[in-house]
Chains A and B, each alone.
Chain A
Amino acid sequence: MLALKNTEREGIISMDVSQYLEIFLDETREHLQNLNTQILELESDPEGEDTIKEIFRAAHSLKGMAGTMGYKRMQTLTHDMENVFTEVRNGNIKVRPDMIDVLFKCLDALEEYTDNIQSTADEGTNDNEVLIKQLNNILSEKSGGVPQAKTPVVKTSAALEEGDRWDTISLDDSQINVIKEALNMGKRVYGLTVTIQESCILKAARAFLVFKAVEERGEIIVSDPSAQDVEDEKFDREFTLILLSDVAIDEIIKAAESVSEIEKAKGGLLDLEKNKHYKAGNEAEQEAKQEAEPEAQENVPVVQEQVTAADSVVKQAAPVKTDVKKQTSGKPVVNRTVRVDIEKLDSLMNLVSELIIAKNSLVSASSQEQVGAHNSFDEQIEYLESVTTNLHESVMKVRMVPIESVVNKFPRMIRDLSKKLDKKMELYMTGEDTELDRTVVDEIGDPLMHLLRNSADHGLESAEVRAQRGKPAVGSIFLDAYQEGNNVVIEVRDDGNGIDVEGVKNKAIERGAITPEQAANMTDKEVIGLLFLPSFSTAKQVTDVSGRGVGLDVVKSKIESLSGEVEVKSTLGEGSTWIIRLPLTLAIVQALMVVVGNEKYAIPLGSIQTLEDIPPTDVKLVQNKEVINLRGTVIPLIYLSEVLDVESKKAEDESLIVVIVKKGDQMAGLVIDELIGQQEIVIKSLGKYIKQCKFISGATILGDGEIALILDANALI
């Protein structure tokens, strides 16, 4: 009975935490983004007091949250970061560039933890000792007095090189148990470190062969990096295995070395006592316990009683939780985001639409009874009308999110690239508030990142070349987002070298993608199109930033999967512009509502230049086409009633209402019957069944539930 109660309680506790996991992830990402932005700011203004305070607050909240959720490693790292910030805030440490680097690395590590938590609800096993040591170095160097031994697991890189790798591998409790058990059973436990040749291209494949060879002769218990990481090629050249086997280690080494492109394999018996993590882990656990207990007593005596049953992780968590509450109350208002399941939104939207239908029937019922006594009834309907229309609008807007959440991380990325590539560059962004459908926003991040990296790596020239060409030393990369008609356009522009068309041609011939004869006949545009072919890279050197040839074709397929398109404009020596056009399947645009015949149509404001009132006498015939002369420009007229096959209601001698639209350099005047006015409309697809009508780009549902079609002015010109 008692046992049952215990498990029950544990169940409740763990459920408690998992219930907050989503909020935790959301808030963590928000804090991380905030930290990224603020630290970037700190880099440009090391003295900014507000920035430092904000950083401190964010780090502190992060620490508290990680502790509450029981993510020890994350907590340790943020704790040490917070220590640094405390000293910075107190003026004991001056901000230096190398310190910023370390801090950014810490943020990356935290992000990694967060990713792990998101996918597995566990933070992973990376202790990031190197970072923690660097943080402590910053502390000890500057203030002298801060103890360095605060963190339990300190590993120096020197030790890493001299000792056997498998002695520094991190082991968790279950792995240690397995090893102990195997030792007890008289099995032999080996460590094996395999180094792959530097020139090897398919590291993951070689590693896989080694894994296979070893598995034929024994059982692999631990792999560092993890088998998954090795498979994803997330390792340098070396990986370490711990394995159980009955055969001699020499045979295993031989098997591993028989795989081609393996530089060397080193192996030996594993001595658990020598393993640093095994020892350190034991110590750390004890230390953590000691640290947690007094704190718990101080802060929350009430909670303590409940907590005794739980393990030390929760013990630590409880006090921090109260800490967080205190903190949040004094926090300035940060942009609060709510994540909503799209399905729920859809059903909500349908409900609102139904409400509108109900309202419509009320409206028609009231108009049928033309009695004056129904005044209040009419008022109520008017009220209902305004409420439902607003509700409809606001619900639909919920789906739209600004692309800000995606592009926010780019300044930081460019900064890192700038350091890595040793090129000076600056990112300028506009239109971060452009709204797109949530699903599109979630997907657009990677393609944009590819393009930015591409601009930074291939586009911008090295400092010397820039100087020769008389360009400013700091390269510029622009990210502009804006709405254009039914599209959201995102442009990635740089003032770098542009695309070397001849270079691309030669490369394509070399690769056998095209023949020299074909190349001679290709236009520049076609040649640039080659860049989007899979496995095409013109980078002379493959760097880890770009040049593997897996970038642009991925960008293209991703954008196309969002039913968008990519276009490239480039001038050799001056730079290139990558233009992504995304159709707004569910976007809100401003449109001009017009009447043609008896039908209502919407023309997106983006393509409209002006509205003109033209007397019929001003219409001239040029080459049998009706044109008008508008302030010196000759503009052809398009009668929408003819295009749309409806009867115009207007008499011949009435003046024409002309909507002047523009597509590139071309202009046209659309003749309509009547103007209704400007309205914010939500674009809906006409469905798969209707596909041929090229100048209808979609439909929108008007306030009264009726459908108006949206004209694509670009297709009309």
Chain B
Amino acid sequence: MDMSIANAQGLVLEEESSKRAIETIQFIVIRLGDEQYGIDIRNIDNIVRMQHITRVPKMPIYLKGVINLRGEVIPVISMRLKMGLADDEFTKNTRIIVVKLEQEGNVGFLVDEVKEVVTLAVSDIEKINYNANEEMVSLINAVGKHNEELISLVDLNVISLEDN
């Protein structure tokens, strides 16, 4: 009798934990200036240290150029310029986040620093639906709550869809 109850309880616990596992999303937290942003980890292919970027002429200013990632030529976009911040200053913390975009394949994004990986429950993520004219806002598609702090969640696929 006792056994079966214990078993049943175990089952319930297990169910709960699996439910929770399904409902969380991991984000990589990056820093741009003083702001922190989250990028869905499922979109990220790779994070590499700063390396020489070959400039491509006649490109929009935020398109910094191309890098060689293990034999693949990948365009690199400055998140700072894209978001209307000052141009990048390269430090030892500067990283290129390589993201696999749906349409364009791999694209690298320059960020000031990669901080940590956070796990957010889906219930702690709030979608932003309003259309502001400001470009910066349109890149941020949701806000997540993590340890009482708010993190802006960036949808990089939106970046790619804009005409460059």
Binding site for B on A (CB under 8 A): 349-350, 352-354, 357, 599, 643-646, 684-690, 692-693, 696, 699, 701, 705-709
Contact = CB atoms under 8 A, between A and B. Distances in A.
B54 A699 contact: yes
A690 B66 contact: yes
Contact of A689 (B52, B54, B164): B164
Nearest to B65: A707
B56 A689 contact: no
Given A687-B75, A689-B104, A689-B160, A696 B56 contact: yes
Contacts of B75: 686-687, 689-690
B56 A350 contact: no
B52 A699 contact: no
Contacts, number: 76
Nearest to B74: A687
A687 B54 contact: no
Contact of B59 (A357, A684, A693): A693
Nearest to B53: A707
Nearest to A706: B52
B68 A707 contact: yes
15 contacts: A353-B68, A353-B71, A357-B70, A645-B58, A687-B107, A688-B105, A689-B160, A693-B58, A696-B57, A699-B54, A699-B66, A706-B52, A707-B68, A709-B57, A709-B66
A447 B27 CA distance: 49
A706 to B, nearest CB: 6
Contact of A707 (B67, B105, B164): B67
A706 B164 contact: no
Contacts of A686: 56, 66, 73, 75
Interface string B84-110: 000000000000000001011111000
Contact of A699 (B70, B73, B104): B73
B127 interface: no
Given A684-B72, A690-B56, 15 more contacts: A349-B71, A353-B71, A645-B57, A687-B106, A689-B160, A689-B164, A690-B63, A693-B58, A699-B66, A699-B73, A706-B68, A707-B54, A707-B67, A707-B68, A709-B54
B58 A692 contact: yes
Nearest to A350: B70
A619 to B, nearest CB: 24
Contact of B54 (A353, A692, A708): A708
Contacts of B107: 687, 689
B62 to A, nearest CB: 12
A394 to B, nearest CB: 14
A356 to B, nearest CB: 9
Contacts of A644: 57
B55 interface: yes
A160 B66 CA distance: 70
* Interface core residue of A352, A689, A693, A701 (most chain B CB under 10 Å): A689
Contacts of B58: 645, 692-693
Nearest to A599: B55
Nearest to A640: B57
Contact of A350 (B66, B67, B71): B71
Nearest to B52: A706
A122 B164 CA distance: 54
Interface of B: 52, 54-59, 63, 66-68, 70-75, 101, 103-107, 160, 164
List the 10 closest A-B pairs by CB distance, nearest first: A353-B71, A707-B54, A689-B104, A644-B57, A350-B70, A353-B70, A688-B104, A689-B75, A699-B73, A684-B73
Contacts of B55: 599
B71 A707 contact: no
Contacts of A646: 57
Contact of A687 (B57, B59, B104): B104
B105 A706 contact: no
A692 B103 CA distance: 16
B86 to A, nearest CB: 21
B103 to A, nearest CB: 7
Nearest to B101: A689
A596 B3 CA distance: 80
A317 to B, nearest CB: 45
B76 to A, nearest CB: 10
Contacts of B63: 690
- Could you say which of B54, B57, B59 has the most chain A C-beta atoms within 10 Å of its C-beta? B57
Contacts of B66: 686-687, 690, 699, 707, 709
Contacts of A696: 56-57
Nearest to A357: B70
A69 B75 CA distance: 51
In this complex, the member of B52, B73, B160 whose beta carbon has the largest number of chain A beta carbons within 10 angstroms is: B73
A354 B106 CA distance: 17
Contacts of A689: 75, 101, 104-105, 107, 160, 164
Nearest to A692: B58
A693 B70 contact: no
Contacts of A693: 56-59
Nearest to A392: B71
B68 A701 contact: yes
A686 B72 CA distance: 9
Residue from B54, B68, B71, B101 having most chain A Cβ neighbours under 10 A: B71
A551 to B, nearest CB: 34
A645 B57 CA distance: 7
A548 B56 CA distance: 48
Contacts of B73: 684-687, 699, 701, 707
A686 B106 CA distance: 11
